[in-house]
Amino acid sequence: MWERGLVVSAPGKVIVHGEHAVVHGKVALAVALDLRTFLRLRPGAEGRLRVCLPGVGVQRSWDTSVLRALRGRIAADFEESKSPSLEQLDALREFAGIAAEASGPDSLATLAFLYMCLAISAKYGDVPSVDILVWSELPTGAGLGSSAAYAVCLAAALLMVCGAISCPLQEGDSTARWTEEELTLINSWAFQGERVIHGNPSGVDNAVGTWGGALRYQAGKITPLKRVPTLRILLTNTKVPRSTKVLVAGVKEKILKFPAIMNPVLDSIDAISQECQSVLEEMPTNPSPEYYPVLEEFFDINQHHLNVLGVGHPSLDRLCQVTASHGLHSKLTGAGGGGCAITLLPPDTSPLAVEAAKQDLCACGFECWETKIGAPGVTLHSLSSLNTQVLHMLSQS
């Protein structure tokens, strides 16, 4: 089974409420999305580690002996609970030929890969001779947690290859998942990968990528939501690029500059997340329209708060105006500054209104699609269980 290769996948996410505030210890509600990142793991040439990341234009390979020597130089103490140090990241940048100020997707993805590979192999085994290819259905840098899905896939694959977690797929199985204990380890290492990419992540994205479903997240505490109704959600990508790292740093700066003004905003976002959780948990599985106005008001209020935090964007204002003109309510999701927004589609919305809203959004140059939420977390797949598009994308090298 291993000779032919294995595939690990992890879902993206939608933050319903609590983005940014969650970095400062407040509550966030997040759900896994039915768009996934896939990682193909194959035995490589002896003594070579190869990584191919077509989504960010990276194709690199290294001698495992060279990586082992580098690991020896920066080993300090790699732990799943310990942040990558500035010195370690500088050494990895120098090794990979990445300029100190480089923050492009290719640089961050290579850096996260090298960090996770060296740290995990230092703790659990040897630098593996493997070929790794990562391909994603998720847009990169659009607020849907592509960085976390990437880090979760890498953590699961590297921990498995180093023997720190089992390979749960039995002959004949199409998919398999790991035990709670193994998932906890995957999540901790994925968090370190997110740290390389985001600087100061809250951990909510990697938690959803690992566990899937719908959850409440606060300061590292993950609580699955008791009941989640079937909600119809329209996802719209403004296609305006932005970096989570830069936006998170901007919010921190604003809080430090105006604590008395900004902290109440964070508290209010926290209250929205908590109220929204109560409303969702009280809703029946297929809720009738009268449950929706309060959820719509929460969207509107939070969108204003996120603008106050400085993570809005004219494209997002436009998006909210377009959907409002069809009686629909939207808010940004993820880091903002462009990227994606979510629009609630109550069951009594006429199909014509939804179609008209979609057309107007597309006319703005945005891309939108309806989505299912609550997908499974990190999963191991047999090759034969994957659809042809995924197989095709994973066969490039």
Ligand X SMILES: C[C@@](O)(CCOP(=O)(O)O)CC(=O)O
Ligand Y SMILES: Nc1ncnc2c1ncn2[C@@H]1O[C@H](COP(=O)(O)OP(=O)(O)O)[C@@H](O)[C@H]1O
Q: Binder to ligand Y among 190, 197, 319, 357 (CB under 6 A)?
A: 197
Kindly write out the interface string for residues 132-171 of this chain, putting x where it contacts ligand X by CB under 6 A and - elsewhere.
Answer: -----------xxx-x------------------------
Min CB(275)–ligand Y separation in Å: 25
x-marked contacts with Mg ion along 133-152 as a string, rule CB under 5 A = --------------x-----
Structural contact between residues 353 and 344, judged by C-beta atoms closer than 8 angstroms: no
Q: Has 147 been annotated as catalytic?
A: yes
Which one of 334, 336, 338, 346 is in contact with ligand Y (CB under 6 A)? 334
SS3 of residue 37 by DSSP: strand
- Judge whether 161 and 78 are in contact, CB under 8 Å: no
Stretch that binds ligand X, among 17-25, 104-112, 223-231, 301-309 (CB under 6 A): 17-25
> Is 173 known to be catalytic?
no
Q: Smallest distance from the beta carbon of 282 to ligand Y, in angstroms?
A: 30
Q: Which is nearer to ligand X, 6 or 190 (CB)?
A: 190
Binders of ligand Y among residues 143 to 162 (CB under 6 A) are 143-147, 150
Distance CA 336, CA 209 (A): 19
DSSP symbol at 309? T
Applying CB under 5 A, which part among 57-65, 154-162, 243-251, 267-275 lies near Mg ion? 243-251
One residue of 26, 93, 195, 198 binding ligand Y per CB under 6 A: 198
Alpha-carbon torsion, ordered 228, 233, 238, 242, to 10 deg: 0
Which stretch, 16-24, 67-75, 153-161, 296-304, contacts ligand X (CB under 6 A)? 16-24
Catalytic residue from among 205, 243, 360, 382: 205
Tallying the residues shown for the chain, one arrives at 397
Sign of the dihedral defined by the CA atoms of residues 320, 324, 325, 326, in that order: positive
The Cα 254–Cα 258 span in angstroms is 6
The catalytic residue among 147, 202, 315, 382 is 147
> What is the distance in angstroms between the CA of the first residue and the CA of the last residue of the chain?
20
Q: In terms of Cα–Cα distance, which of 230, 247, 207, 204 is closest to 336?
A: 247
User: Distance between CA atoms of 241 and 146, rounded to whole angstroms?
Assistant: 13
- Quick check: 193 binds ligand X (CB under 6 A)? no
Q: Please say which residue, 55 or 287, places its beta carbon nearer to ligand Y.
A: 55
User: Per CB under 6 A, does 22 bind ligand X?
Assistant: yes
* Sign, CA torsion 91/96/99/101: negative
CB under 6 A: which stretch of 87-95, 134-142, 218-226, 290-298 binds ligand Y? 134-142
Which of 333, 10, 44, 50 minimizes the C-alpha distance to 178? 10
Query: Are 147 and 205 in contact, with CB atoms under 8 Å apart?
Result: yes
User: What residues are labeled active site?
Assistant: 147, 205
